[in-house]
């Protein structure tokens, strides 16, 4: 049994431009983590047609075998980081099943925001959504303009959304480690709202309900950050507004947005809350979905 430190970083590839960008990003991330990189191509077809792979192989048109695809992607990762250990595999199976299975022995799993479906860039592909909803390890979905780099020069900013499980949050722990590895500032964000039925017209009491909800949000941040590593710079923010809007806005310009997703035993549907779902569809930076056992 591999320890977490030995487990590879897995990236799903399909020959599309988003998945090739994911290979670059994942190669950087694997180096930062000090783990091997594993490339997995899963499909139900024996041949692939695509402009991105044709460009990668230097041919005007290509009808390639899956082995050609993962071989080109592996060569790309090795060229980017010559010392990185890279392995690759082809599985003739539905990508969702393969990647969720791979996640059981992965330190984290990286996927592009969409594959060859032709959906608009703002929409999340069904494979990425399904994997993020069911994987046992953190899943990083590469949204937005990440410039194919996991660690931009000069440090950066990691944003984590602090939810209801503030006291023992797997997402917060993951965010601590990601900020430390990157030498980035960690921005912990907690949204709060004051329901309309709690407001009052009395001038002396008008701000009392809002103040209570704001203080509760601040207390949630205190609980979530009580084990913050001393070598990670942490900034705290409580913001009035709907959590979905607050997190998407906070993610602008960030290197990574970290959100949690509860995993309930025996639950077969998409195990993503509304806030996590919104972040995956609308954030302008890579999104890490960290499973939290209920």
Q: What is the pLDDT of residues 57-73, one digit of tens each?
A: 555 445 567 788 889 99
Query: What pLDDT, on a 0 to 100 scale, did the predictor assign at position 249?
Result: 94
Which candidate, 148, 8, 160, places its Cα nearest to that of 84? 8
The two tokens of residue 33 are 């983590």
The two tokens of residue 215 are 């203080």
Burial of 7 (0-12, 13-18, 19+ CB in 10 A): buried
CA 77 – CA 84 distance, rounded (Å): 8
Residue matched to tokens 């569809």: 281
Q: What is the pLDDT of residues 76-122, one digit of tens each?
A: 999 999 999 999 999 988 888 999 999 999 999 999 876 444 333 44
Q: What is the pLDDT of residues 126-174, one digit of tens each?
A: 788 888 888 999 999 998 666 667 776 666 899 999 987 777 899 999 9
The two tokens of residue 167 are 């006291």
């Amino acid at each position: 049994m591999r320890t977490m430190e030995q487990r590879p970083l897995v990236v799903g590839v399909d020959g599309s431009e988003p998945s090739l960008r994911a290979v670059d990003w994942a190669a950087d991330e694997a180096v930062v983590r000090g783990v091997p990189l594993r490339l997995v191509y899963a499909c139900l077809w024996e041949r692939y047609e695509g402009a991105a792979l044709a460009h990668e192989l230097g041919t005007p048109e290509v009808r390639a075998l899956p082995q050609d695809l993962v071989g080109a992607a592996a060569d790309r990762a090795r060229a980017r980081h010559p010392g990185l250990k890279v392995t690759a595999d082809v599985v003739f199976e539905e990508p969702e099943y393969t990647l969720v299975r791979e996640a059981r022995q992965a330190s984290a799993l990286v996927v592009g925001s969409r594959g060859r479906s032709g959906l608009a860039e703002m929409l999340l592909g069904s494979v990425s959504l399904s994997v993020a909803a069911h994987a046992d390890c953190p899943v990083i979905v590469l949204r937005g303009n990440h410039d194919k780099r996991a660690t931009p020069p000069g440090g950066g900013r990691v944003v984590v959304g602090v939810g209801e499980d503030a006291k023992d949050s797997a997402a917060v722990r993951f965010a601590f480690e990601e900020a430390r590895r990157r030498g980035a500032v960690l921005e912990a964000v907690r949204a709060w709202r004051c329901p309309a039925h709690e407001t009052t017209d009395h001038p002396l009491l008008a701000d009392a309900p809002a103040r209570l909800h704001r203080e509760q949000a601040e207390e949630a941040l205190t609980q979530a950050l009580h084990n913050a590593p001393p070598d990670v710079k942490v900034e705290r923010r409580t913001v009035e507004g709907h959590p979905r809007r607050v997190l998407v806005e906070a993610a602008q310009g960030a290197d990574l947005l970290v959100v949690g997703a509860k995993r309930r035993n025996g639950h077969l549907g998409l195990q993503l809350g509304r806030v996590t779902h919104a972040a995956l569809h609308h954030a302008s930076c890579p999104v890490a979905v960290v499973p939290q056992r209920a």
